Amino acid sequence: MKYIDSINNKLIRQTIALYSRHERDKKDLFVLEGERLISELRDTELIEYVIISESYNGYCPDTGNIYLTSNLIFDKLSDTVNPQGILAVCRKLSYDVHSAFTAEAPLFVVLENVQDPGNLGTVIRTADAAGFNGVFLSKGTVDLYNPKVVRSTMGSMFHLPIYTNVNIEHLINDFKRYNVQTLAAHLGGAGTPYECNMKKATAIFIGNEGSGLTPETATMTDRLVRIPMPGKAESINASIAAGILIYEAVRQRLEG
């Protein structure tokens, strides 16, 4: 194990730089922080290096590149208020898109231009809990590897394929080719989610928090559905809308 004693060390500077999306995209790397998240990463081959603080004494993956540093330097590296003392710099995940379509009656979520890191992480966690087959993120969606997103997925980002930088038009063409129906949550939708048969292969589309789906995407999907709002609020949070639609699919499939 190598010891790093300076904040100016090249590896430390390189790790801090990964808090910028530009740098993550350039290097194809991201920071995974905390014992629980790192232990969820089954494929330790994705790890480039691990940095731990002097006082850390929890789980550490079995990888060759482990660096030790002072608590003071670790605190400067960390994105959290109470650092646990372990982070791993990993290569980004990648998945073959077409393998996702081969499951029987698969279920997908597609997020278009969702901006809030907490919403993205929460939707991934919900899709994972519900046993969905994959999540697609449009080009304009917040970065999957943003530390806040990574944290709020609670490890679910390693449990199901997540496709990033997706061109929505091409994706909808793929869905048509594979007979996956496309349902979009939309305030102007005609029917409710409860009227849709989600026992069939289904992709659920959720748009941006403020402006919803783009008109182009709304036009291309098979059906716009409106979550009923008998009360006074004019809209609901994007991750809640996703959760309601995701679990309507779970409910229908439990019915048998």
Backbone dihedral angles phi then psi of residue 71, each to the nearest 5 degrees: -60, -35
Residues 178-207 that bind a second copy (CB under 8 A): 192, 194
Task: Give least dist CB 172 to a second copy, A.
Answer: 24
Q: Does 120 bind a second copy (CB under 8 A)?
A: no
Q: For residue 142, which phi and psi values (nearest 5 degrees)?
A: -55, 150
Counting contacts by CB under 8 A, is residue 154 touching a second copy?
A: yes
Q: Which range touches a second copy (CB under 8 A), out of 47-55, 69-77, 79-87, 122-130? A: 122-130
Sign of CA dihedral 121, 125, 130, 131: positive
Residue 210 beta carbon to a second copy: minimum distance, rounded to whole angstroms: 11
Q: Which residues contact 240 (CB under 8 A, 6 or more apart)?
A: none
Kind of pairing, strands 181-185 and 202-206? parallel
Give yes or no for residue 143 binding a second copy (CB under 8 A).
Answer: no
Q: Name residues whose C-beta falls within 8 Å of residue 218's C-beta, 6 or more positions apart in sequence.
A: 184, 186, 188, 212, 224
Residue 236 per-residue DSSP state: -
Q: Which of 19, 67, 178, 247 binds a second copy (CB under 8 A)?
A: 247
* Residue 178 Cβ vs a second copy, minimum distance, rounded to whole Å: 21
| Residue 211 binds to a second copy (criterion: CB under 8 A) | no
DSSP-based three-state secondary structure for 34: coil
- Minimum CB distance to a second copy, residue 39 (Å): 13
The contact set with a second copy (CB under 8 A) reads: 118, 122, 125-132, 152, 154-156, 159-160, 192, 194, 227-233, 235-237, 239-240, 243-244, 247-248, 250-251, 254-255
